[in-house]
């Protein structure tokens, strides 16, 4: 157990996801901060947390599909630092685009050249644009912040290529907002993507538990099943944090508070924030995620891990991920596991439908991927939903991002809406958690701890 220095800054961390765990772990270095994590759910991990669908599963599975890219350096370094390097595995799974009833790999120049639905000049033009975005010697994302992906891609890739492949994918990801998404977001997706993917033995939950254990060893207190109800500034400085269920709430005082929650929840937790900052939080758009995990008694696809499903195909989901075509089904009691997922506005009907209703909506689409599929192959299903899962980075988004230091001294806010231009993910949760910890340490004179 790490020792806590007398007079160390007391920090409440709201949210036990990867960002909150990372921040608490960093802050507690050398005992210079007494960090206390409040996690609403029954387990740590947030959107990266796992579940065990059956007692026969040796490993938990992520509620929302996860993997790492081999250039996700922040989380890879942290993995080694906490002694979890033995958990990391690197794979080279197959990724394809579903187009007019067939699957086409497009993850290499050679695969793109074999795509039969574009002419050779169109494919070469698209390849040059993607190469420009991925290999530009001085990443121009700040200039791209002011440009719309829809307009720029149609202009430079050509209308036919864009309409066939990229416009349906943008629409699938962002729904009615797809024409508002800026080019910097698209650039970041192309720039960071790698064909080799990382995954943890025991799933991301195993990494989360190692990180939680490392934080506890440094003296961090972790509460699960502890929803925070309010964060109130104190007249003498610091904050009162009220947590627990209504009627049984408890309150503690802290010098500083770091909230790693959604912008909407931040508005509700801290209404004393100045109106301009609250309005900034309210201006951020986002999409929710609906993910159905389906267990089959046999594989659906042969070797393919990830299938992108353009909106133009008329299918009821955006992505099909056969997890057990990357991770062996033996870790899940022999179940072959599929994710059927979509990004949707939080008002979409999928958020109010039952699991049985959604399964009935999704299953008729599976013969499109394997003509032999029969509903009798299904042996189980699990539904997970999150109304805040994907920020919508509109044109000029860089100027819209709320500062991590809020206008209330000692109150900090770190969310996936602020990792821009990068897309949300565990690597950037680590990065923003570290950034917030450094900021708090600087503000409270604990620089020697970092």
Backbone angles phi, psi at 320, to 5 degrees: -120, 120
CATH code (residue 240): 3.50.50.60
Whether residues 338 and 256 share a domain: the answer is no
Give me the half-sphere count of Cα atoms (radius 13 Å) on the Cβ side of residue 3: 3
**Which pLDDT does position 70 carry in this prediction?**
97
Distance between CA atoms of residues 392 and 390, nearest Å: 6
360, 391, 422 — which closes off a domain?
A: 391
Q: Is position 98 within any domain?
A: no
Cα 117 to Cα 106: distance, rounded to the nearest angstrom: 12
CATH for 296: 3.90.660.10
In a domain, 338, yes or no: yes
Q: Does a structural domain hold residue 4?
A: no
Determine the structural domain holding residue 167 and report its residue range. Answer: 108-171+178-192
Give the end of a domain, one of 391, 407, 438: 391
Within this chain, do residues 406 and 386 fall inside the same structural domain, yes or no?
Answer: no
Task: Enter the tokens of residue 282.
Answer: 């309210």
pLDDT value of residue 446: 63
Same structural domain, 147 and 19 = no
Residues 295 and 387 in one domain: yes
**Cα–Cα dist 42/225, whole Å:** 5
pLDDT tens for the 450 residues of the chain, in order: 344 456 789 999 999 999 999 999 999 986 779 999 999 999 999 999 999 999 999 999 999 999 999 999 999 999 999 999 999 999 999 999 999 989 999 888 899 999 999 999 999 999 999 999 999 877 789 999 999 999 999 999 999 999 999 999 999 999 999 999 999 999 999 999 999 999 999 999 999 999 999 999 999 999 999 999 999 999 999 999 999 887 778 999 999 999 999 999 999 999 999 999 999 999 999 999 999 999 999 999 999 999 999 887 889 999 999 999 999 999 999 999 999 999 999 999 999 999 999 999 999 999 999 999 999 999 999 999 999 999 999 999 999 999 999 999 999 999 999 999 999 999 999 999 999 999 999 999 864 444
Residues 302 and 381 in one domain: yes
Pair 316, 235 in one domain: no
Whether residues 299 and 384 fall in one domain: yes
Reduced to 3 states (helix: H, G, I; strand: E, B; else coil), residue 354 is coil
The domain total for the chain is: 3
Q: What is the predicted pLDDT for the residue at 340?
A: 98
Which tokens go with 187?
């650039």
Do 271 and 229 fall into the same domain? yes
The pLDDT assigned to 5 comes to 58
Q: Are residues 270 and 414 in the same domain?
A: yes
User: Is 0.85 surpassed by the pTM of this model?
Assistant: yes
Residue 68 lies inside a defined structural domain of this protein: no
Which H, E and C letters describe 251-285, residue by residue? Answer: EEEECEEEECCCHHHHHHHCCCCCHHHHHHHHCCC
User: What spatial distance separates the first Cα and last Cα of the chain, rounded to whole Å?
Assistant: 18
Q: Are residues 358 and 235 in the same domain?
A: no
Residue 16 lies in a domain: yes
- Position 449 scores a pLDDT of 43
3 part of a folded domain = no
Does residue 296 share a domain with residue 262? no
- Whether residues 161 and 291 fall in one domain: no
Question: Which of 161, 192, 223 corresponds to the end of one domain?
Answer: 192
Asked if residue 97 belongs to a domain, the reply is no
89, part of any domain? no
């Amino acid at each position: 157990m790490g020792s806590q220095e007398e007079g160390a800054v007391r920090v409440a961390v709201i949210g036990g996801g990867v960002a909150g765990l990372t921040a608490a772990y960093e802050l507690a270095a050398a005992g210079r901060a007494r960090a206390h994590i409040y996690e609403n759910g029954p387990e740590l991990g947030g959107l990266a947390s796992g579940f065990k669908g059956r007692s026969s599963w040796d490993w938990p599975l992520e509620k929302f599909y996860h993997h790492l890219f081999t250039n996700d350096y922040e989380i890879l370094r942290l993995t080694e630092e906490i002694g979890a390097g033995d958990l990391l595995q690197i794979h080279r799974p197959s990724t394809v685009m579903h187009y007019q009833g067939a699957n086409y790999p497009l993850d290499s120049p050679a695969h793109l050249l074999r795509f039969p639905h574009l002419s050779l000049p169109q494919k070469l033009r698209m390849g040059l644009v993607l190469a420009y975005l991925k290999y530009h010697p001085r990443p121009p994302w700040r200039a791209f912040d002011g440009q719309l992906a829809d307009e720029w891609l149609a202009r430079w890739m050509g209308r036919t290529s864009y309409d066939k492949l990229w416009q349906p994918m943008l629409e699938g990801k962002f729904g009615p907002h797809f024409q508002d998404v800026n080019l910097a977001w698209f650039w970041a997706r192309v720039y960071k993507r790698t064909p080799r993917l990382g995954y943890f033995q025991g799933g991301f939950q195993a990494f989360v538990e190692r990180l939680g254990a490392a934080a506890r060893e440094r003296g961090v207190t972790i509460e699960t099943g502890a929803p925070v109800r309010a964060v109130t500034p104190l007249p003498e400085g610091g904050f009162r944090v009220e947590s627990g269920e209504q009627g049984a709430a408890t309150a503690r005082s802290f010098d500083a508070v770091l909230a790693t929650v959604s912008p909407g929840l931040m508005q509700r937790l801290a209404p004393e924030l100045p109106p301009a900052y609250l309005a900034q939080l309210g201006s951020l758009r986002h999409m929710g995620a609906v993910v159905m995990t389906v267990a089959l008694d046999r594989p659906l696809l042969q070797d393919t891990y990830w299938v992108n499903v353009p909106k133009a195909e008329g299918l009821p989901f955006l992505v099909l991920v056969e997890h057990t075509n990357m991770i062996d089904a033996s870790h899940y009691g022999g179940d072959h596991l599929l994710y059927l997922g979509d990004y949707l506005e939080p008002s979409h009907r999928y958020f109010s439908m039952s699991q049985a209703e959604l399964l009935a909506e999704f299953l008729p689409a599976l013969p499109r991927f394997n003509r032999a599929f029969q509903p009798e192959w299904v042996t189980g299903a699990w539904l997970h939903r999150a109304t805040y899962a994907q920020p919508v980075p509109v044109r000029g988004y860089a100027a819209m991002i709320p500062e991590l230091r809020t206008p209330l001294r000692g109150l900090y806010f770190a969310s996936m809406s602020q990792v821009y231009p990068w897309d949300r993910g565990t690597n950037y949760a680590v990065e923003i958690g570290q950034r917030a910890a450094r900021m708090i340490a600087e503000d409270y004179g604990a620089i020697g701890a970092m």
